Homo-oligomer: A and B are copies of this chain.
Amino acid sequence: MTDAQPIWTRPARGSRGPTPGHSRDEIVRAAIALADAQGLPAVSMRAVATALGTTGGSLYRYLSSRDDLLDLMTDHAVGELKPYPEPEGDWLDQMLRLALRQLDLHRRHRWLSDVAQRPSSVGPATLSWFDHCLGTLAPTGAPTTAKFEAIAVVTGTVILFSRDRDAAAASATPFTGLDPATYPHLTAALARPGPPPAGDLFERALRSVLTGLLERPGRSGFGESGEKLVAEAVHPPDR
């Protein structure tokens, strides 16, 4: 199965041979279970195959590469974001709810952040999520570029905070026995950690960055002619 088309438009099987013993969905599910339990490096073709009771090379009857499998896994996981939360409050509240749902997804599937920063083929569930986010941001009237960037920043922040605990545990170890002369501020900060910051940092970060990126600044912000164009282009027919 070596096709130039992306996996989303490629048929799962032909019409000629015997009925396949497995399916793409079954393979993807097994791979996700493996990744959830033992991390992404454990998802090797042979490991997934043996989890399904077959051999490594047989998977290439269903997929054309491991990247295909990762793409399918990603989109399958992103599909768990549905149903999207009910629209409630202004666009910022709504966007925050979406981000929290995404954060929860990344905490359930920690391998998602490993797979996210790799050039991948975007699946339908991801497109749907992206489209929903764009719709949520429509009332801002911000340019398309800013919206795209804002959604990317949200995802980036989600990945950042989903790694929180691991990062904290990992970075605590090598931070012992530092020389106060060479690292004065760092040793001081570690010696007196101070109080935990008020409120949820995740929410604070997102609220501030989203308003900063998307909200209409006083008058020296977006160009006026551009605003009209964007307002026309973005106003959806059914919303």
Contacts and interface: CB of A to CB of B under 8 A. Distances in A.
Interface of A: 6, 85, 89, 93, 96-97, 100-101, 103-104, 107-108, 113-114, 117, 119, 121-122, 124, 127-128, 130-132, 134-135, 138, 142-149, 152-153, 156-157, 159-160, 163, 166-167, 170-171, 174-175, 178, 182-186, 188-201, 203-205, 207-209, 211-213, 217, 220-223, 225-227, 229-230, 232-234, 236-239
A238 to B, nearest CB: 6
Contact of A197 (B100, B119, B142, B204): B142
Assembly of this chain: how many copies? 2
B209 A212 contact: yes
Contact of A230 (B127, B157, B203): B203
Contact of A201 (B146, B186, B190, B195): B146
A176 B66 CA distance: 24
